[in-house]
Copies of this chain bind each other. A is one copy, B any other.
Amino acid sequence: MANTTASKLNEIPRGAVGRGGVLDVAARLFREQGYGSVSLRKIAAAAGIKAGSIYYHFGSKDEIVAAVLDAGIQVVHESMRQAVSALPEGAGAEAILRAAIRAHLRALLDVSDYSSANVRIFGQVPQSVRDANLHTRRAYEAEWDNLLSRLQADGELKREVDIRRLRLMLIGALNATLEWFDPHRGSAEALSRTYADVFLNGILERQET
């Protein structure tokens, strides 16, 4: 037919999907539906290509999910590091912790499908994929441990808190927001303030004894 040429015009240009496009779509689907119920055919369909074509860009499903997991951590890590290092020289513990909490939460809730997908599906992927993500993960954890240790050494954090445990508490609590956060009910910005308030000062009304 004559329209073969014409129809090309409103088609997606040839190389527009590509490895990056597949990865973006995969991250979004993983975040929305979890690991187990997202098949390669779903990813392909959402990206506008066919399932087999994915194997031109990736060697396996594990390779896709591994790439999503790594990118997810890197986004939060970078966001948190920048937020902290952008602070003025003599910033106190309170300002530093508020900035770090805010950066982590905003990366999760506002910015990136990759970071939220990481939190959501990490516990669902095959062991081998989890293991491959551990290096990236530990780097981010070390960033927090360094920060917290420094503040504790300066006497700004209570001495009796174990740093590792505190980091697990903090990141765990922040990540848990993904399960219920609704942008219609309040901003990630405001939420990060509440989290900082509670973690820094607690929820008990203080008696002036």
- A7 CB-CB contact with B under 8 Å: no
Per-residue contact bits, chain A 167-209, to B (CB 8 Å; 1 contact, 0 not):
0110011011101100000100001001101111111110000
Per-residue contact bits, chain A 129-167, to B (CB 8 Å; 1 contact, 0 not):
000000000000000000000000001111101100110
- A90 CB-CB contact with B under 8 Å: no
Q: Is the CB of B166 within 8 A of A172?
A: no
Total interface residues on A, CB under 8 Å, equals 40
B residues less than 8 Å from A173 (CB atoms): 169, 172-173, 176
- A85 CB-CB contact with B under 8 Å: no
Within the complex, which residue of B35, B37, B194 is in contact with A165, where a contact is CB–CB below 8 Å? B194
Q: Shortest CB–CB separation between residue A124 and chain B, in angstroms?
A: 5
Show the binding face of A for B, using Cβ within 8 Å. 34-37, 93-94, 120, 123-124, 155-159, 161-162, 165-166, 168-169, 172-173, 175-177, 179-180, 186, 191, 194-195, 197-205
New contact pairs (19) apart from A93-B204, A175-B176, CB-CB < 8 Å: A34-B35, A36-B37, A120-B123, A155-B205, A156-B204, A158-B204, A161-B194, A161-B197, A161-B203, A162-B194, A165-B191, A165-B194, A169-B173, A172-B179, A173-B176, A198-B199, A199-B203, A200-B202, A202-B202
